Structure 1
Amino acid sequence: MPGPGQPQFGWGAPPGGPKPPKKGRGGLIAALVLLGVLVIGVMALKIVSAALKGDGDPSYASPTTTTSYSPTNQPTKEPSGQPTNVPTTAPTTQPTTQATRPTATRSTATATAKPTTKPGPTDTDLVVRNRLYKAGAMASVNCKESKARQSTVAGARANYKNLVGCLNRAWAPLVAKAGGRFRAPTVRIFSGTVTTPCGTHSDSGPPFFCGTTDTIYMNLTEDIGNYNRYPQAYQKVWARMWMLHQFAHEYGHHIQNNMGILQAYSRIRYERPNYAMELQDSRRLELQASCFSDIFIGANRRSYPITGQSLFQWRWLIGHVTDNANDHGDANNHQYWATRGYNARNPSVCNTFAASAAKVQ
C-alpha cells in the first residue's frame, strides 16, 4: 500500500458542469503530499535510509533543518561576591600576659558554576503543545490574486510567485511570536518527471513538499491543465481556487517544518506498532496542513477576494475530496478542519494532534 508521500488525494470538480477526467488513482489528484524526513536512530544515531516502517514509502529523507526548540545551556547563577582574605587587626593595647592569637587567613575559592542543560521538548510536546498554537490570529497582508491566469506557463509562474510572497509575509510574524526562526521556502515547478531527495514524482501526481530541501514542488502540467480543460467560467474559478488551496496547503507543510512538527511527526510515526496508527498520524499531519492553508485564505478573504463564485467553489472544493489510501482524511473531516482555519484564522484551532480519532478519519 502506498505511503502518505504518494499521490492519491483528489479534489472534486465543481457542481453543475462537466467533471474533469480522472487521473491516476481517481479524480483530479490535488494531493497534499509530504515530506522528506528520515528518522535518526536512538542509540546508534545512524540515518535510516529505508522507507518508513511498514509502508515502503521512499519519499522520506533526512531533513536538514533547524528548530527553535533546541535546548539551551543556562549556567547557574554566579555568587554575588567572593570571600576576601581579611586578617585580624592587632589591637593597639595588649595584655602583657597574653599574646595576640593571629586569625587564620581564609582561602575559600569561588566555586565554579556548572552549566545545566535545560531539557528540550519531547516529540509529543512538538506536535501537541507547539508554541505556534499560542501565537495568535493571523493578520491580513492584503494579498491580492495575481492578474495573470494559469492558462500559460508564465501565468502559472506569476501566480506561484505572488502567493509565496503573500504567505511569507503572513506566516513570518506568527513563527516569530512562537519563538521560531522563520525561513522562506524554495518553490519549484515541474512537468514530466522530477527527481528530488524525497523521491521521483511525475506530473500525473499532485504537487508536494520536500522537507529535506524545504521546497514546494508545484505541478505545472496539472495547474495549467485544470484551467484550460473546460471553457466554463465557473470551472476556471474552481481551478484558481484549487491552485490557491493546494499552494497554501503545501506551504502549511513548510510551516510544520519550520516549527519542528514535521520532524517530530516522523519520529512518532516510526515508532508506531502497526500501520493503522501510522495512517492516523499521517491524517493528523495532512489535515493540519489544510487547516493552516485556510488560515491564510480566511485572513485574506476580503482582499483576494473570496466572495461570490470564488467562495462557492472554495466551499465545494474543501468538502469534496477523495482519500483512497486513507492517509489524508475524508471529505467530512477535511471540510471540518479547513473551515475551522478559515473562520478562526488562528493556529490554535488546528491542533489535529490533540483531536479525537473520530475527527481525523
Structure 2
Amino acid sequence: MKWRDRSGSSNVGRSSGGTGGKIAAGGGIGMILLLIMTLLGGGDLGSLFQNSVIDPGTSPSVQWTAEEEEMADFFSVVLADTEVVWGDIFKASGREYVQPKMMIYSGSIQSACGVAGESTGPFYCPTDQTVYMDLTFYKDLRTKYNVPGDFAMAYVIAHEVGHHIQNLTGILDEMEKIRQQVSKTEYNEYSVKLELQADYLAGVWANHVQGKGYLEEGDIEEALNAANAIGDDTLQKQTMGYTVPDSFTHGTSEQRVNWFRKGYELGDLSGSDTFGADDL
C-alpha cells in the first residue's frame, strides 16, 4: 500500500498501557435495513450515539522501537483513508460522518469497554467510539498467522471501522436488544452476520482506496489471506484440532474471504445484507 509521505489522522492517540476491568470487545448486531436506510438517505434512526471519546494526545510514557513507531504511523494513515472514504459515502446520502478515534497501544490498555491485553487483539469500543489497535497483533499476523504485508493489517483496521459504521447506523444498539432475547448459540449466529458485514464494509473501503490509486500489486491478496487466516474454523483447528460451529462468532475463513471480496468488487452498500442472505 502506498502510505508513506501521506498525512495521518488527527484522531490517533498512543499509549504504553493501562489497567482496568472486563473487556467487551467491539461488536454488535441489528438489522441490515438500518444500515441501508441510513446510508441511502431513507428512514430515521434517531440520534447517533453521543458518547465521550478519548483524548487523542500522545502519552509521554510511550517508548517504542523505530519499527513500532513506523507501524503506528501506518495505522494513522489507514485511519485517515477511512475518514475520507466514509466521509464521502455519508455525504453522498446527506449525512455527516462522525469520525472514530484510534488508540494504539502496546501491552494493555483501559478502554471505556474495559481492559484489553495482548491476547485481546484489535477491537472497537462503541462506548467511546474508538478503535483500539495493539501493535503486537501486527507482528502476530506476520509470524503466528503467516500473513505478511501491510494491507493485511489495513484490512483489519478497516474491519474495525466497519463496526463504527454499524454503531453510527444503530446496528450495535440493536445488538443489545437481541442479546437479551435469544440464547447464546442463536446470538452467535447473529454475531457471525455482524462480523461478515464488517468484512464487507472493509471491502467497500478497499475498492475506494483502489480508486484513489493507493493500492499496489498484491494488496488485495494480502487482505484475503488475512481474512482466511482469522476465520473461526481455521483458528479452532489450529488451537483445538477440530471445530465447534455453534461457537463461531466471526465466520469461517471462506465466509470472511467471500464477503470482503464481495464488498471490494461491488464498491457500494448494495450487497451488504448479510442478515438477509440465505447462504452466507
TM-score by length of 1: 0.55
- 1:165-222 residue CA offsets vs partner (Å, 9 max, x unmatched): 1111110122234454311111101111112221221112310000000000001122
> Could you list the per-position Cα deviations for residues 136-182 of structure 1 after superposition, in whole angstroms to 9, with x for gaps in the alignment?
xxxxxxxxxxxxxx971221121111111111111012223445431
355 and 226 in structure 1: CA distance in 2 versus 1, 3 angstrom threshold? closer
Residue of 123, 127, 131 corresponding to 2:38: 131
Q: Which has the higher helix share?
A: 2
Aligned partner (choices 228, 244, 253) of residue 154 of structure 2: 244
Q: Distance in 2 between matches of 1:192 and 1:159?
A: 19
CA RMSD for the aligned pairs? 2.9
- Check if 1:59 corresponds to 2:24: yes
CA spacing shift, 1:58–1:248, aligned 2, 3 Å: closer
- For 2:84 and 2:141, how far apart are their aligned partners in 1? 28
Q: Percent identity?
A: 24
Judged with a 3 Å threshold, the aligned counterparts in structure 2 of structure 1 residues 249 and 205 are, in CA distance, closer, same or farther, namely same
Match of 1:189 among 104, 107, 110: 104
Match of 1:253 among 163, 170, 183: 163
**Deviation for aligned residue 1:224:** 4.2
Distance in 1, Cα, partners of 2:161 & 2:35: 20
Deviations 1:236-257 (A, max 9, x none): 8x24122110010001111111
Q: Compared with structure 1, are the counterparts of its residues 350 and 192 closer, same or farther at alpha carbon in structure 2 (3 Å cutoff)?
A: same
Q: 2:223 aligns with which of 314, 326, 330?
A: 314
| Counterpart Cα distance in 1 of 2:73 and 2:112 | 26
Q: Distance in 1 between matches of 2:215 and 2:181?
A: 43
Structure 2 residues without counterparts, runs of 5 or longer = 1-21, 43-64, 237-246
Which amino acid is the alignment partner of residue 335 of structure 1? V
Between the aligned partners of 1:243 and 1:60, the Cα distance in structure 2 is 18
**Moved beyond 6 Å, runs of 4+:** none
Distance 1:315 1:281 in 2: 23
Q: Determine the C-alpha separation between the residues in 1 that align with 2:81 and 2:207.
A: 13
Looking at structure 2, the residues matched to 125 and 241 of structure 1 have their Cα atoms a distance apart, in angstroms, of 27
Which letter maps to 1:288?
A: Q
CA shift in 2, pair 1:191/1:205, >3 Å: same
Distance 1:187-1:128 versus aligned 2 partners, 3 A rule: closer
Contact 1:210-1:216 at 8 Å conserved across structures: yes
**Structure 2 counterpart of 1:153, which letter?**
E
